Structure 1
Amino acid sequence: MKIAVLPGDGIGPDITREAVRVIEALGLGIEMTWAPVGGAAYKAHGHPLPAETLAIARDSDAILFGAVGDPDCDALDRHLRPEQAILGLRKALTLFANLRPARVFAGLESHSALRPEIAGAIDLVIVRELNGDVYFGEKGFRTNAMGEREGYDVMSYATSEVQRIAHIAFRAAQGRGRRVCSVDKANVLETSQLWRDTVIAVAREYPDVALEHMYVDNAAMQLVKNPGHFDVVLTGNLFGDILSDQASMCVGSIGLLASASLGERQTAWGTFGLYEPIHGSAPDIAGKGVANPMATILSAAMLLRHSLGLADAAERIERAVAHALGDGVLSRDLGGNAGTAEIGDAVLARL
């Protein structure tokens, strides 16, 4: 079993190091190869996703990813900015399905921005399409009829793109509460109308799963009003990006949310994927030993489950994280003072 470890920028190396320590402690004999990505890769090799890094990623069974983003690179041409590394990996490796689970850990209900009794009911998965929408559509600048500078980004989805992500969502629901809420904006967007029509057609193949539709503005409202209503949320790239970050604050901290980006390629043990925390590189606290590594550690658990078929090992990690949090081992973002390595030690002790 081989993992490509791409720590990236800012706090990426700090939090990735703790996740690697947890994986190594399980004694699974996994081979791990580290490679630069993002701003660190640009500074060393002149590109945020060097060919060597991409080759290491392709040759692995899964990718453990830290975070990218470096203020020193903000003035670069867009194709050289650190964020292009993650977009490039998703595109080159056809990672089209992003799974972002969100649930409140016992004892942390009061850390949510919501009332504890509402927050305690959160247990959902957002299934976000990753390879389409405005992020990958035609974009640019032009001069309009008034002679003004105008920016544009094209939102589009093909039927096949919606079909494949819909199947992922329905299969995920079959292993959970058997409910899918498809989020779109079909009342004003033709792209969303195609999305809705396609999801309805796919749903006929899953008679055991209940399907409902919700406009994205209402979904954002319901995430804070009645988040316990949701089981699996299926949505596109743009809406999923926004709703998943909103969900992170509903559970108490963006530092607790893991994610998996999956494709169609199968490994010997599961589905090839890239696993990362949903937060950014936080350059202001990089190297200070205060970043919360929990989301990265939980991402490592998802990696073991989905790509390496090691569900038991994944559950051990998740239980250890839950016990550490329940015992009050909290980072700054959760009102505590535990440092990055201290949190890693706490999880290791509870394994």
Structure 2
Amino acid sequence: MTQNVLILPGDGIGPEIVTEAVKVLETAKQKFNLDIELDNALVGGSAYDEFGTPLPEVTMQKAEKADAILLGAVGGPKWDELEDRDLRPEKGLLGLRSGLELFGNLRPAILYPQLADASSLKPEVVSGLDILIVRELTGGIYFGKPRGIRTIEGGPKDGEREGYNTYVYSESEIRRIAKVAFESAQKRGKKLCSVDKANVLEVTVLWREIMNEVAKDYPDVELSHMYVDNAAMQLVRAPKQFDVMVTGNMFGDILSDAAAMLTGSIGMLPSASLDKNNKGMYEPCHGSAPDIAGQGIANPLATILSAAMMLRYSLNESAAADAIEKAVSDVLDQGLRTADIYSDGMSKVSTAEMGAAVVAALENLSA
């Protein structure tokens, strides 16, 4: 049965990196006789420019029908001054996540051995790094209500403006992300570290309680707990102590970016956002990088690796996923580097040249 993939290039470098990932997907489709069809739609700033909204109805309809979604990135300074925050590009991304109930965000932080020197940490600290961060994606302070900016009336701060957000998680939201995290740990090193701030925030007191309860269903997984400030420090001090980490939306946003830089470049890291049935949206961990958009220097490898994750998790095409990941490794073995991962002695290549190299490496692999 044909599986439908929706391509959302987005903004900034999004169209450039997605173009290369699509070339790789098309090559995998031919090489492995994949029964997939690709469709396209707009989201983010490009959608606002065309339709006056960052998430047009036609995009949402296509997303709901798709078996998987490949996204580039959204946002940029062009739209930062929109007075109505609901019209900003990021609202399109949040709308997709919430509307499709993509609550489970998987962010691997893997250091390719070829890039050990690209990390800002000593090679002995990061060599062999392989962490999976499981981030709850549709709850927490990013979605909690009430929220907004108001003017204080009365008291010593009368007339001052005040911003406020609400950090809230329900028991069911915590349980379902815990299940994803424990099952992920079972497939890896059977170690799970839950990150919270239970010494200060009541919402994470509940988080910790639920994690302990769910742990009883997974006796083969070793569960530990860590406060988020200590977790940030430990990621820099001794990152290889972690296997799988699970945390809420805001903490996960921050820690996954920190973990990404341990690998040398956030331009190398893919991510998956899954619903309860493993339908997912796949995107690189980096943003839209508008400062380098259109220059042909963006690293497409995170997006290509996101396509591989898509094939594995949502489309059940693990052989094709393995082949793409092998092709990326082979290209790095060849010494090809985009600017963000370049080091002396390597060959600096453009976005398109890197994509073409992965296509060639994929074609040369025995199916």
TM range (shorter): over 0.9
Q: Which runs of 4+ in 1 moved over 2 A?
A: 142-145
Q: Is the 8 A contact 1:106 1:326 kept in 2?
A: no
Partner of 1:245: 257
Q: Which whole-Å CA distance do the structure 2 matches of 1:136 and 1:337 have between them? A: 41
Q: Which whole-Å CA distance do the structure 2 matches of 1:192 and 1:287 have between them? A: 42
Q: Is the 8 A contact 1:8 1:67 kept in 2?
A: yes
Partner of 1:95: 102
Match runs of 1:216-231 below 5 Å:
216-231=228-243
Instruction: Spell out, residue by residue over 1:175-230, the C-alpha distance to the aligned partner (whole angstroms, 9 max, x if none).
Output: 00000000000000001100000000000000000000000000001101110000
Q: How many residues align?
A: 346
User: Given the alignment, which residue of 4, 7, 10 partners 2:9?
Assistant: 7
Match runs of 1:112-123 below 5 Å:
112-123=119-130
Q: Is the 8 A contact 1:106 1:322 kept in 2?
A: no
Partner of 1:157: 169
Partner of 1:16: 18
Q: Is the 8 A contact 1:103 1:123 kept in 2?
A: yes
- State the one-letter code of the partner of 1:3: V
Aligned partner of residue 356 in structure 2, secondary structure: helix
Q: Which whole-Å CA distance do the structure 1 matches of 2:230 and 2:80 have between them? A: 34
Q: Which whole-Å CA distance do the structure 1 matches of 2:76 and 2:247 have between them? A: 29
* TM-score where L is the length of structure 1: 0.97
Structure 1: runs of 5+ lacking an equivalent: none
* TM-score where L is the length of structure 2: 0.93
Partner of 1:296: 303
Partner of 2:365: none
Aligned partner of residue 12 in structure 2, secondary structure: coil
User: Given the alignment, which residue of 234, 243, 249 partners 2:246?
Assistant: 234
Match runs of 1:250-261 below 5 Å:
250-261=262-273
Instruction: Spell out, residue by residue over 1:104-146, the C-alpha distance to the aligned partner (whole angstroms, 9 max, x if none).
Output: 1012111001100111131010000001111001211223432
Aligned partner of residue 83 in structure 1, secondary structure: helix
Partner of 1:108: 115
Partner of 2:86: 79
Aligned partner of residue 55 in structure 2, secondary structure: coil
Aligned partner of residue 183 in structure 2, secondary structure: helix
User: Is 2:204 the counterpart of 1:197?
Assistant: no
Q: Which whole-Å CA distance do the structure 2 matches of 1:326 and 1:229 have between them? A: 27
Higher deviation after alignment, 236-245 or 141-150: 141-150
User: Given the alignment, which residue of 37, 41, 44 partners 1:38?
Assistant: 44
User: Is 2:50 the counterpart of 1:48?
Assistant: no
Q: Which whole-Å CA distance do the structure 2 matches of 1:207 and 1:249 have between them? A: 33
Q: Is the 8 A contact 2:113 2:128 kept in 1?
A: no
Percent identity of paired positions between Structure 1 and Structure 2? 57
Q: Which whole-Å CA distance do the structure 1 matches of 2:49 and 2:199 have between them? A: 45
- State the one-letter code of the partner of 1:141: I
- Report how far residue 29 of structure 1 moved: 3.5
Structure 2: runs of 5+ lacking an equivalent: 363-367
Match runs of 1:323-342 below 5 Å:
323-335=330-342, 337-342=348-353
- State the one-letter code of the partner of 2:27: A
CA RMSD of the aligned region, Å? 0.9
Q: Which whole-Å CA distance do the structure 1 matches of 2:112 and 2:260 have between them? A: 12
Instruction: Spell out, residue by residue over 1:275-316, the C-alpha distance to the aligned partner (whole angstroms, 9 max, x if none).
Output: 000111111221221110000000000000000001111010
Match runs of 1:61-72 below 5 Å:
61-72=67-78
- Report how far residue 325 of structure 1 moved: 1.3
Higher deviation after alignment, 23-32 or 229-238: 23-32
Aligned partner of residue 193 in structure 1, secondary structure: helix
Partner of 1:132: 139
Match runs of 1:263-282 below 5 Å:
263-264=275-276, 266=277, 271-282=278-289
- Report how far residue 71 of structure 1 moved: 1.5
- State the one-letter code of the partner of 1:63: I
Aligned partner of residue 271 in structure 2, secondary structure: strand
Instruction: Spell out, residue by residue over 1:222-244, the C-alpha distance to the aligned partner (whole angstroms, 9 max, x if none).
Output: 10111000000000000000000
